[in-house]
Amino acid sequence: MTGDKPQVIQKQHRAESSRLNVIIVGAGLGGLGAAISILLAGHNVHILESTPEIGEIGAGIQCLPNSSRVLISWGLESYLSKHATSPRLCNMIGWKGNKISDMDFHEYEKECGTPFWDFHRANLHMGLLERAVELGAKLTTKARVVDIEYEEDVGNKATRAIAVCQDGTRHKADLVVGADGINSKCREILLGHEDPPLLTGDLAYRLLLNTEDMMKDPELRGFVEDPQVNYWIGPDAHAVNYVLRGGKLFNMVLLVPDDMPAGANTLAGNVEEMRALYKDWDPRIPKLLALCQSVAKWRLMIRPGLDPTWSHETGAYTILGDAAHATLPYLASGAGMSLEDGHVLGLCLGRVKSKSTTEKKRALAVYERCRRERTERVVSRGNRQQYLYHVHDGPVQQERDSMLRAFGEFNGKGRVSKEQYQEKGLNVGDDPLAWRWGGVGSWLITYVCEEDVETRWREFENERRAEVRGSEESDPDDQNDNEAYHASNIADERTLAWAYNLDSLPSEEFAAYNWPPSIYEAAQNVYPTSLPPRQPYVPAHNHSMSVEGCWQPSSTAVFSHPDRSRYLKPLQVNSMNRMDGENLVTLGYPDFGPGSTTDDLTPSVSESANENEDVSSSIANNKPSLRCPVCVDKPPFTGQYAQRNLNRHMERHGACTTAGNHRNIRCEQPGCTSTFGREDALLVHLRRSHPELNTPPAKRRKR
């Protein structure tokens, strides 16, 4: 629990049948962190690094309590504590030198149970590398991965991934994890096209100073003798500094507008140019910059969330860290999110019982549930901090500074309720010093990976069981609506329930009750104990050719609802004017009218039939049966979703079908292309994939 110091995780010992061979592409902080967590889960890890030597460049890095919790649980406390600096305060300072507010790190450490640490990046990287090797990681350098291929592993009922290197070397694994940073090739392989990171308009000057020179100046000596993190915030720029390596080095980062040429990500900086940008700031900053002999410029870029998934459909390939969600460094959480990604992935893989596709996909599904929303929130808040730190002098700057002071009045009072903030006219989340409880501290720095995995895993399994129970409780004629066929891998009803719950039901499916003998026998080889009894195969002829050349059922039930539009209409949008000038929106589910409840969202099939006079009981009981005109040797598509599944199947032939009378409900959220055959499926999708909408749960369908 938060507030307690974490226990060091002990390495699991696994049978060979459940021990995955995992390849990690990239030996940065995220890749090494994932290696440690996966090794602790009892699996084998091979790290492929493109550079000739494994090392880390850069300067200082801040480690928040949520990140130090992960590092301590990996057994790194004794090593890292020798290289860490524990700052006392975080100070927010105006660009002319006036202190605005502060945050007592030690107060928050007591609540979180873990410390704020500052490291030289190389020390943190070396600690992770040594721990990974100690646990058994294999490392290969000069191995630049350029493609990922897949092959079937029939014995384990799974698909394996093959990492193809630039020199032609091929490395096979049960799972490949792309952790190759912001300029990720692995991300582009997953997407199937180029996907460069987005420019933010900022760049960073990074420099390290020798503290011996600082100790000679009375104005600068205090920075070394009393370690603190200092933020100077001003027009279009800000500056950050803190002590490293027990006071031997002083790290400075200067954030300014990006003027780097196109195509460049890092360059040697011009010291005189840098000094000129800060010549009118707090006099201590020009003094510090006068001690600088050389500097590097880094272009700051981000990667927004990756839709629709971070993982390949086979369960043999996924990505993490900056490859999935690179953020601005303005929350000091980029590396922290990568470490959390790796830890959560290892915890999820620690629960797999075999090498099967089903087990791997379940682990990756829970991994994404834990990580997607959280990392998207961090990227979003980092963008907001960019604005808050860089406002020009004037009314907005004055309001920002007033907010900093108002939230600072709660310093020393521990975690206070949102009601206490509201009594002072403040809202949780609005604190520009984002780490405090009035900002995002309540969910950012208190995060515990183990608790999140436990909660999400239980939630996932409960949903899966509920889907299976719902299938078992349906009427006999509807027992086989969970159609099952996908290439050569035929899933059982439990797997299909899970797949439907993921909104990723395979697209070439048909009912098990009507499979031909060859298909059924193939399925038995995959799931020998789970298939329903096969009924005699009867070729279906209940179809007709439409004018457009698309198959249509000759008779079909019209499952609709006269008032369906009231819960499928576009979601209402309410705008809130924020002090930062952003038009932040709160998405709320539409009003269902007087006396309505969320329990009546989904009409039962019987209700639908009663409310549509043109649907007779004989038609309602007649299952549509549609055959692909190209795959003449394939059984027909049947069941409630026959038309939808035929539509998806025909897309692979470059053809199209007409939706007919069957519903084709599309998610209307920006960037989402998911479609569904039932309203309750849409609601499940909205609750899981778009949690910011706070969609009410769907009622279990009546039969």
Instruction: Return the structure tokens found at 319.
Output: 């990505």
DSSP state, residue 354: S
- 686 lies in some domain: no
- 63 lies in some domain: yes
Q: How many folded domains does the chain comprise?
A: 3
Same domain, yes or no: 1 and 73: yes
Q: pLDDT tens digits for 56-112?
A: 677 899 999 999 999 999 999 999 999 999 999 999 999 999 999 999 999 999 999
By mean pLDDT, which of 42-46, 496-500, 587-591 is the weakest?
587-591
Q: Is the pLDDT of residue 315 over 80?
A: yes
Do residues 463 and 501 lie in contact, with contact meaning Cβ atoms separated by under 8 Å?
yes
Residue 165: Cβ within 10 Å count: 18
- pLDDT score of 641: 67
Average pLDDT over residues 154-175: 96
Q: pLDDT tens digits for 461-494?
A: 998 888 777 655 544 444 333 333 333 333 333 3
Tally the C-alpha atoms within 13 A of residue 14's C-alpha that lie toward its C-beta.
22
Instruction: Return the structure tokens found at 613.
Output: 């006079």
Q: Is the pLDDT of residue 635 over 90?
A: no
Residue 108 and residue 504: Cα distance in Å, rounded?
42
> Phi and psi at residue 223, in whole multiples of 5°?
-60, -35
- 457 lies in some domain: no
Same domain, yes or no: 418 and 401: yes
Same domain, yes or no: 360 and 218: no
- 512 lies in some domain: no
The enclosing domain of 285 has a CATH number of 3.30.9.30
Residue 632 and residue 628: Cα distance in Å, rounded?
7
- pLDDT score of 186: 98
Domain boundary among 249, 278, 302: 302
- 652 lies in some domain: no
Tally the C-alpha atoms within 13 A of residue 189's C-alpha that lie toward its C-beta.
27
Same domain, yes or no: 32 and 53: yes
Q: What domain range includes position 264?
A: 198-302
Q: What is the pTM of this model?
A: 0.69
Q: Which residue, among 335, 250, 370, has the nearest Cα to 63 in the 3D structure?
A: 335
- pLDDT score of 487: 33
Do residues 324 and 310 lie in contact, with contact meaning Cβ atoms separated by under 8 Å?
yes
CA distances from 662 to 48, 204, 423, 495 (A): 49, 55, 53, 25
Same domain, yes or no: 342 and 405: no
Q: Which residue, among 503, 523, 546, 501, has the nearest Cα to 646 in the 3D structure?
A: 546
User: What is the residue-wise DSSP string for 639-667?
Assistant: STTHHHHHHHHHHTTT-----TTS--EE-
User: What is the residue-wise DSSP string for 503-519?
Assistant: T---SS---GGG--HHH
- pLDDT score of 54: 81
Same domain, yes or no: 179 and 206: no
Number of DSSP helices (H) and strands (E) in the chain, helices first:
24, 26
Residue 351 and residue 369: Cα distance in Å, rounded?
15
- pLDDT score of 464: 86
Q: Which residue, among 439, 446, 444, 461, has the nearest Cα to 369 in the 3D structure?
A: 461
Q: Which residue, among 180, 388, 208, 198, has the nearest Cα to 299 in the 3D structure?
A: 198
More confident residue, 627 or 347: 347
Residue 703 and residue 685: Cα distance in Å, rounded?
22
Same domain, yes or no: 126 and 238: no
Tally the residues of the chain.
703
Same domain, yes or no: 58 and 2: yes
Same domain, yes or no: 183 and 132: yes
The enclosing domain of 324 has a CATH number of 3.50.50.60
Largest pairwise CA distance in the chain: 94
By mean pLDDT, which of 198-207, 403-412, 468-477, 539-548 is the weakest?
539-548
Q: Tell me, letter by letter, the H, E, C secondary structure of 38-74.
A: HHHCCCEEEEECCCCCCCCCCCEEEECHHHHHHHHHC
Q: Is the pLDDT of residue 117 over 70?
A: yes
- 400 lies in some domain: yes
Same domain, yes or no: 189 and 334: yes
- With the C-alpha atoms ordered 672, 677, 682, 685, is the resulting torsion angle positive or negative? negative
By mean pLDDT, which of 285-294, 538-547, 553-562, 606-615 is the weakest?
553-562
* Ramachandran sector of residue 247 (left: φ over 0; alpha: ψ -120 to 50; beta: rest): left
Residue 347 and residue 363: Cα distance in Å, rounded?
9
Same domain, yes or no: 24 and 152: yes
By mean pLDDT, which of 384-388, 416-420, 492-496 is the weakest?
492-496
- 462 lies in some domain: no
Q: Which residue, among 273, 120, 297, has the nearest Cα to 209 in the 3D structure?
A: 120
Q: pLDDT tens digits for 177-204?
A: 999 999 999 999 999 999 999 999 999 9
Q: pLDDT tens digits for 29-72?
A: 999 999 999 999 999 999 999 999 887 677 899 999 999 999 99
Residue 360 parent element (H or E): helix 357-389
Q: pLDDT tens digits for 265-300?
A: 999 999 999 999 999 999 999 999 999 999 999 999
Same domain, yes or no: 57 and 157: yes
- 298 lies in some domain: yes
- pLDDT score of 560: 30
Domain boundary among 253, 280, 302: 302
CA distances from 150 to 241, 384, 516 (A): 47, 40, 28
**481: three-class secondary structure by DSSP:** coil
Q: Is the pLDDT of residue 230 over 50?
A: yes
Cis peptide before 532 (omega within 30 of 0): no
Q: Chain centroid to CA 591: how far?
A: 30
Domain boundary among 319, 341, 371: 371
By mean pLDDT, which of 23-32, 49-58, 219-228 is the weakest?
49-58
More confident residue, 248 or 616: 248
